[in-house]
Amino acid sequence: MNRNKREKEYFSIDVGDSTFTVLKRYQNLRPIGSGAQGIVCSAYDHVLERNVAIKKLSRPFQNQTHAKRAYRELVLMKCVNHKNVRHVFLCLGVYVKKKKCFWSLYLVMELMDANLCQVIQMELDHERLSYLLYQMLCGIKHLHAAGIIHRDLKPSNIVVKSDCTLKILDFGLARTAATGLLMTPYVVTRYYRAPEVILGMGYQANVDIWAVGCIMAEMVRHKILFPGRDYIDQWNKVIEQLGTPSQEFMLKLNQSVRTYVENRPRYAGYSFEKLFPDVLFPADSDHNKSYSKIKCCSMCKFF
């Protein structure tokens, strides 16, 4: 895009610590979140006449790894069509003439109300907690059916609206579940890493299910299930609570890792009742209320 046309259609504005250069159709930009993959702001789209979220990807073309992650996230969020997976309406590339490339990349998406980190701190009844978990599993099932492993499921990568609808986002680390494909062990935020990832084993889509289980436990207990300080402490937290794995599992490890694991103290682990006593689980809501009134749940007070 030449400079004159860009100046007519685009404008720049500082949002938090970053400068957004976007189409003039987007106004009232406000920062709402940031992470390793980029910065997100809310905006009003005068064309669609609705509020949207705009994510500016952090240094998408700094190197090959960043470029792959940016491309992967764009393709997956553009192509995956499921109500529990966040979809990209539009991709904006700001052209830098002297570099002859798109230097800034923006993804325009549906605006949600909060991420799951905020919801975890709230007291939800049984129906609402179950409904959120159900939607999480529906979204993951759809991704796995398409041969996609998310690999970075965590509360901050799951967003919700005040009507309890849920969407999964952030596909920068997602990969195709191809058999025999060498997978990097450095995926999934530490607290939500499956044993296969922690120990450098081969893994498949089941690592996402482990992460969902950790997230569900956090929603019930209102605290992280395995809060490891590093990957060794993370493994210790897992076996202390769930017990030392079986010999069959040990045989799948490479020799050096197996030696370390076998030399650790043996733990019997805790029973489910010990980890999740009944008192932690929320009570059922009033069954006389229509399920459709979930839109008026206690989450509305937070938003």
* Residues that are catalytic: 152
CA atoms of 244 and 242, how far apart (whole Å): 7
Q: What angle do CA 10, 11, 12 make, to 5 degrees?
A: 135
SS3 for 135-152 is HHHHHHHHHHHCCEECCC
Cα-based distances in Å from 163 to 31, 137, 160: 22, 18, 8
What is the DSSP track for 32-98?
Answer: EEE-SSEEEEEEEETTTTEEEEEEEESSTTSSHHHHHHHHHHHHHHHH---TTB--EEEEEEEEEGG
In sequence order, the β-bridge partners of residue 13 are 20
